[in-house]
Structure 1
Amino acid sequence: MIKNIGSYLFVILAICSLAFYSFSTEETFKVGDSYLTKGIALNYNMVNDSVSHNNAEALKTDIASSFSPSLGKTYVGFKEALGFKESRGNYFTVNTLGYLGKYQFGKETLKIIGIHNPVQFLKNPELQEKAFLANAERNKWILRRDIKNYVGKRINGVVITESGILAAAHLSGPGNVKKYLRSHGSTSFSDAYGTTIEYYMKKFSGYDTSFVKPNKKAKVSKA
């Protein structure tokens, strides 16, 4: 009996010794040795269940905005801001009045710049981008004297800029912008949704639109 107890104690001591050795030896498993995390900042801060849905959404928005590139006051910034205002950047939308695409073109304007197939136009983002530039070039040629004469002046409390003029021309057509400028704001225009020339002049002021070259015969090349 005593001999059996001694055998059991010996086995237990042997197991304990092996366990102690396995934890103290240099061959112990280390995350850093196996996964090479040296120099990497690991951050496991997660939104837990106690965070409200609104706070979680706000956090995602903050993260997204911190990584969003800024287009600033460039030509690309100008056209993207205008496209977002017109359609939230949706190439494939048609509004209640039949205006098409990202920049909400009317069919008659499309014909002027060489596009006669609205269905094809709506399906083709590249064609829409070409149309925006061609229309802006044509408007800049039509309004070239007004740009020269009125940029830097203040009308109805808004400082006139070239980009503001081009944006307003996109909204209302260059003829209405001429009337507005030459009447010093007394002859205005608003579209079917109530958007005015003054609003576009202010909202899209100060962009660099030197990329847009005046072109009387601006047309869209074949896509």
Structure 2
Amino acid sequence: MIMLKKLFFKLLPYASQVSYNNYKILSREYGHYKSAKLWQSMDKNGQPIPWYSYPLIEYLQQLDFSQKTIFEYGSGNSTLFWASRSKHVVAIEDDPAWYAQIKPKLPSNVTYLLVDNKEDYVKAIHQFSTSFDVIIVDGSHRYDCIISARPLLSNTGFIILDNADWFIEATAFLRGTDLIEVDMAGFNPINGYTTVTSLFLTRQVSLSPASDKQPKTPIGGIEQYLDHK
């Protein structure tokens, strides 16, 4: 049976073979099928990942955040993702039911706050007497949160805005504060459409690789070394 399947596959037009391989990469290797079936933002091994575009997730996985402090508007598997990689995470949530579901899963390096009032939610970042290396805006009231959080970004940090293509005024505001916008478009967990998750980098941004190899071979890529050939 396996031999017949392989023979049938070879008889398909090249375009059909490539399309099928690409489908397998997204569904299996990225874990998209599993994430959609379980309605959980996770990779193929069931590990939590943010609900960002896959290109940004792969990029972030290459960087060293071990000494970084993170502030997150919104929470979920992204909070677990950041907690496993950074020194400390502060996450703000405005949905009591979701808060109750996520809180038992969080490790000790996460400060998790339930703030269900809009004004207090937007201003929550100001109760901390520190700047943050990474500020993530992926929850409610995103435009207002961007305005509120911008002064608390460290001089060497960056902001992540998920679904940035839906918040054009927010992106314009951030560019106007001399941040460099890098848009990463592509598929993301769970959903059946593509999205844009954007980085907004300070001019002095500090990004250290987590290993000697960067970039790493992407999921579904071909691993080879051609520097000296």
Structure number having the greater helix percentage: 1
User: TM-score, normalising length from structure 2?
Assistant: 0.30
User: Larger C-alpha radius of gyration, 1 or 2?
Assistant: 1
Higher strand share: 2
